[in-house]
Amino acid sequence: MSKKLLLFLILAFGFFILPFVVSAQKPEDWEPPERNGVYDVPGRKDLKVRVFVHERPNQSPVLIACAVDNNSNAVTGETGWYLPTNWTYYVNPSVPSSISSNLSTIVENSFNAWRTPLSGKVNFNYAGTTNIGVKKLDGKNIIAWGRTSGSALGVTYTWYYTANHQAAETDTIMNKKFAWGWNEFQCDSSYYDAQNILTHELGHWVGLNDHYTDAYVDNTMYGYGSKGEIKKDTLTTGDINGLSSIYP
């Protein structure tokens, strides 16, 4: 083969074939970036995906762990999507050993916080365990402990239809590398309370936004999470009022 022909073949592959292979990636194989934002979904013009990264506070003083669970009237904002009447979810049982024996209670308690105000509007149905641990558009709404980049405690991905703003899929990946724990009745500043953070993440499933200002520090949808924090377990008046405007 002549050098010119070889060069031509290499260039042809690079310019014409490679871009086609990349763009032909199936929507279910594509993973959204782990950065806050709204993204197009390759191959699915009818969908977008929104990513929420739950960070630890980056400013001092760090929130006081085990603080009292104050109410808040600051109304939580909407993301713009809503869940249909029935929403199933799968749980990946491969979690840190510190929470594995309580996992089903942690997950159910977290959903119960939302089931109460959404009674008659959204039914959350547990569909069983899954070994899926990545955020992909695979038709399963999952809760998993896996790897997330950087210092995120957890990341939630919501795919939604741009036409009617109904959610298409919701995945939450909690960051395995942190110290997780759980105690129903008291807080412990040596770990991140799994129910506390998961309840917040499920707030994104139902269509609520993050808030980072001091007015929202007591809300479940306050965007930062701290060790020992358990106040996100219970919704504030402002969280419930935000919910009411999505599900009137």
191, 177 in Cβ contact below 8 A? no
Nearer to Zn ion, 89 or 216 (CB): 216
Applying CB under 5 A, the residues found at the interface with Zn ion are 52, 54, 210
Whole-number minimum distance, CB 59 to Zn ion, in Å?
17
In angstroms, the CA 144 to CA 132 distance is: 8
Nearer to Zn ion, 27 or 80 (CB): 80
Nearer to Zn ion, 50 or 54 (CB): 54
Nearer to Zn ion, 169 or 210 (CB): 210
Residue of 66, 59, 36 whose CA lies nearest to 49: 36
DSSP 16: I
Whole-number minimum distance, CB 202 to Zn ion, in Å?
10
List strands edge to edge, sheet with 37-41.
37-41, 44-54, 154-161, 167-175, 142-146, 86-91, 123-129
Nearer to Zn ion, 52 or 192 (CB): 52
Whole-number minimum distance, CB 163 to Zn ion, in Å?
25
In angstroms, the CA 51 to CA 185 distance is: 31
Phi, psi of 128 (to 5 degrees): 120, -170
168, 136 in Cβ contact below 8 A? no
Whole-number minimum distance, CB 101 to Zn ion, in Å?
27
Whole-number minimum distance, CB 55 to Zn ion, in Å?
9
